[in-house]
Amino acid sequence: MTLERLTDDGQIATYLTYQELADRWQCSKATIRRRIHAGQLDVVVFSISFKRITGASVLRYEREHLRGAA
């Protein structure tokens, strides 16, 4: 389930689940976890079991590493 939240500057921030990003990139959730642990993707922790990947970090990663990706 993608989340959207209003930021302090009035922008809408998008957050993706690990599965949503894995589906988008056609890879496994383990690959997503490796990218997170490598510092290539940013995660927001809402609670101990409720973590989401920031949409901005996904777009940044795609721009830098996945030319022509979704």
Taking residues 26-38, what's their average pLDDT?
Answer: 96
pLDDT digits (tens, 9 = 90+) for 49-64: 889 999 999 999 999 9
Taking residues 34-60, what's their average pLDDT?
Answer: 92
Residue ranges of the alpha helices (H) in the chain?
A: 18-25, 29-37, 55-65
pLDDT digits (tens, 9 = 90+) for 15-26: 999 999 999 999
| Residues paired with 16 in a beta bridge | 53
pTM (two decimals)? 0.78
Q: Which domains does the chain have, with CATH numbers?
A: 3-65 (1.10.10)
